[in-house]
Chains A and B, each alone.
Chain A
Amino acid sequence: MYNIKVRGVLIQGNKSYHDITRDITNPLLSKTTPLWWWISAFLASVMLAWGVWGFYNTIVVGIGTWGLNNSVSWGWAIINFVWWIGIGHAGTAFSIFLLVLHQKWRTSINRAAEAMTIFAVMAAGMFPLIHMGRIWNGFFIFPYPNTRGPLWDNFNSPLFWDVTAISTYLTASFLFWYVGMMPDFATIRERTTSKIKKKIYGILSFGWLGNARGWLRFESAALLMGGLTAPLVISVHSIVATDFAAGIVPGWHSTIFPPFFVVGAIFSGFSMVLTMMIIVRKVYKFEEYVTQSHLDAITRILTFVSLIMGVAYISEIFIAWYSDSPYEMFVFFHNRASGEYAFEYWAMILFNAIIPQLFWFKKIRKNVAIVFIISILINVGMWYERFVIVVTSLSKTFLPSTWHNYYPTATEVAIYVGTIGFFILGVLLFLRFLPIMAVSELKGINKETSIVTEKPENHE
Chain B
Amino acid sequence: MNNQNQILGVFDDPDVVTDAVSELVKNNIRIKDVYSPFPLEHVWELLKMKTRLPYATFLYGAFGTASVFAFLYWTSVINYPLIFGGKPTNSLSFVVIMFVLTILSGVIFTLGTYLVREKMWPGKKVELPDNGSMDDKFVIVIEKDKNMDESAVNNINELLKKSGAIEVK
Contacts and interface: CB of A to CB of B under 8 A. Distances in A.
> Do these two chains interact?
yes
Interface of A: 1-2, 16-18, 21, 143, 149-152, 154-156, 160-161, 164-165, 168, 171-172, 175-176, 179, 182-183, 186-187, 189-191, 202-204, 206-221, 224-225, 228-229, 231-232, 235, 239, 439-441, 443-444, 447, 454-455, 458-460
B16 interface: yes
A225 B79 CA distance: 34
Interface residues of B, number: 70
A187 B38 CA distance: 11
Residue with the greatest number of chain B CB neighbours at <10 A, chosen from A156, A190, A206:
A156
B51 A217 contact: yes
A216 B45 CA distance: 10
Nearest to A207: B124
A213 B50 CA distance: 8
Contact of B134 (A156, A191, A459): A191
Contacts of B79: 150, 152
Contact of B136 (A21, A175, A224): A21
Contacts of B134: 21, 186-187, 189-191, 210
Contact of A17 (B40, B51, B107, B136): B136
A439 B39 CA distance: 12
Contacts of B121: 206-207
B76 A155 contact: yes
Given A17-B135, A164-B97, A228-B57, A212 B36 contact: yes
A444 B39 contact: yes
Mostly, the A contact residues are: helix
A189 B134 CA distance: 9
B111 to A, nearest CB: 6
B106 A228 contact: yes
B39 A216 contact: yes
A371 to B, nearest CB: 31
Residue with the greatest number of chain A CB neighbours at <10 A, chosen from B40, B53, B61, B113:
B53
17 contacts: A1-B15, A155-B76, A155-B94, A164-B101, A165-B100, A172-B104, A175-B108, A176-B107, A206-B122, A207-B119, A207-B121, A210-B37, A211-B33, A212-B44, A215-B40, A218-B118, A221-B53
B59 interface: no
A155 B82 CA distance: 11
A217 B14 CA distance: 19
Contact of A224 (B40, B110, B118, B125): B110
A203 B97 contact: no
Contacts of A168: 100-101, 103-104
A214 B122 CA distance: 16
B65 interface: no
B110 to A, nearest CB: 5
Interface in B53-84: 53-54, 57, 61, 71-72, 75-76, 79-80, 82, 84
A169 to B, nearest CB: 8
Contacts of A232: 100, 103
Contacts of A229: 103, 107
Listed from nearest, the 7 A-B pairs whose CB atoms lie closest are A207-B124, A17-B136, A221-B114, A444-B38, A215-B39, A206-B120, A190-B134
B148 interface: no
A16 B135 CA distance: 10
Contacts of A221: 53, 110-111, 113-114
Nearest to A143: B75
B25 interface: no
Given A156-B91, A168-B101, A202-B123, A217 B114 contact: yes
A220 B41 CA distance: 11
Contact of A225 (B15, B84, B107, B135): B107
Interface string B86-109: 010001011011011101101110
Contacts of A231: 99, 103
A171 B111 contact: no
A183 B114 CA distance: 14
B33 A213 contact: yes
B53 to A, nearest CB: 5
A235 to B, nearest CB: 6
